[in-house]
Amino acid sequence: MLLENKNAVIYGAGGAIGGAVARTFASEGARVFLAGRTRESLETVADDIKVAGGQADVAVVDALDRQAVDEHVGDIVERAGSIDVSFNAISIQDVQVIPLAEMSHEDFVRPISIGTTTHFLTATAAARHMARQGSGVILTLSSSAVRAFIPGVHVGGFGIAGTAIEAFTKQLAAELGPQGIRAVCLRSEGIPESWEDASTEEWSAPPEEIEVFLKQRSLLGRVTTLSDVGNAAAFLASDLAGATTGTVFNLTSGSVVD
């Protein structure tokens, strides 16, 4: 197993992406600590993991509250002995579809503020403990909107938030590398599986049309899946990726080419 005897915390673990990563981590042998704001959704993921024979602990944590994050990470270390992996997949509450010239300042800034704040708080909380043990992996999450600029497609502050998260990840890698800590950002494309519970009232087109569009602009002619993200995260968190840090792992199915 890739993550046997590893302790991993996943923020936003009740969501589609966070839940997929948590399930994959657990299937690869990690003890997973599921953090989020809604206990019911976290318990659903935990139940799936336990039924499959894995280990999962649940905690309601506001990943924008520094004290709450610090206390939760400290509790993980006290209970499990270490924190080996941190992954952040919380929603950054972005507003899209509206052109920038017509968007409110609040809607534009919100995803940038939330994305940078939560990644800073969760990553640095884990880093302080990882530094003492001399090892650890911090995984962050961005999107294809960082590099894909398409006429008529309005993403508000979403892509800018991702750009900041990617730059933050590289700075983390530079500062923490000498202490044995790796930092990698996963850049994903839109994932149709994750849209099932989303409101489509303000979407630019029906989900089916958006999926067709994603496939058409992909070099592979396919969409990115939750399994793709989970498998990539497990690999990057494992010792097999021991030489990988300070980079962005492209999971866009070729819609963005580095």
pLDDT of residue 192: 85
Q: Is residue 20 part of a domain?
A: yes
Q: Is residue 60 part of a domain?
A: yes
Q: Is residue 257 part of a domain?
A: no
Computed over every residue of the chain, the mean pLDDT equals: 93
Number of compact structural domains in the chain: 1
**What does the pLDDT look like over 108-141, one tens digit per residue?**
999 999 999 999 999 999 999 999 999 999 999 9
Report which DSSP code applies to 238: S
Q: Is residue 142 part of a domain?
A: yes
CATH number reported for the structural domain that contains residue 184 in this entry: 3.40.50.720
pLDDT at 199 over 60: no
End-to-end CA distance of the chain: 30
Burial class (CB in 10 A: 0-12, 13-18, 19+), 238: buried
Q: Is residue 2 part of a domain?
A: no
Torsion of CA 242, 243, 249, 253, to 10 degrees: -90
pLDDT at 58 over 60: yes
**What does the pLDDT look like over 213-255, one tens digit per residue?**
888 889 999 999 999 999 999 999 999 999 999 999 999 999 9
Per-residue pLDDT band for 201 (boundaries 50, 70, 90) equals low
Question: Which structural domain range is residue 72 located in?
Answer: 7-251
**What does the pLDDT look like over 73-99, one tens digit per residue?**
999 999 999 999 999 999 988 778 788
Q: Is residue 160 part of a domain?
A: yes
Per-residue pLDDT band for 15 (boundaries 50, 70, 90) equals very high
Percent of the chain with pLDDT over 70: 96
Q: Which residues of 68-79 are buried (b: 16+ CB within 10 A; e: fewer)?
A: bbbebbeebbee
Q: Is residue 1 part of a domain?
A: no
Q: Is residue 76 part of a domain?
A: yes
**This prediction's pTM:** 0.93
Q: Which of 153, 144, 151, 95 is nearest to 248 (CA)?
A: 144
Measured between alpha carbons, how far is residue 241 from residues 9, 16, 228 in Å?
Answer: 18, 24, 16
